[in-house]
Amino acid sequence: MKSQKPKNKNSDFFDKVYEVVALIPYGKVTTYGAIAEVCGIKSSARTVGWALNGASASGLPCHRVVNRFGALTGRVHFGDPNLMEDLLKSEGVEFDKDNCVIMKKYFWQPPDLF
């Protein structure tokens, strides 16, 4: 009988994060906290960020995840500090005078998947 490797709790959470991020529509954004909440751990917004840091080459639309105020706190993980903003602007996303996404217009609430 083959022994099974114990599942890493973080990898299950990360997989959920990736599933949600893959669904973010073009021209919309969501937040680390909104993703954490639908993944079952509302207080794990920071862990969502860690998951996305590891997904930079995955092809997922990680640039569509912002903080709760619409600030591009993850921009440093894109190599070019302007890339995240450029990608969002290319999708028609607008920013306010503080350079934050206009959340009332572009926020996408992830569906309850889990």
Point out the residues that are catalytic: 62
Give me the helices (H) in the chain, please: 9-21, 32-38, 45-53, 83-90, 103-106
What are the structure tokens assigned to 92, written together?
């028609």
Buried b (16+ CB within 10 A) or exposed e, 30-46: bbbbbbbbbbeeeebbe
Identity of the amino acid at 98: D
Tokens 């959340």 sit on residue: 103
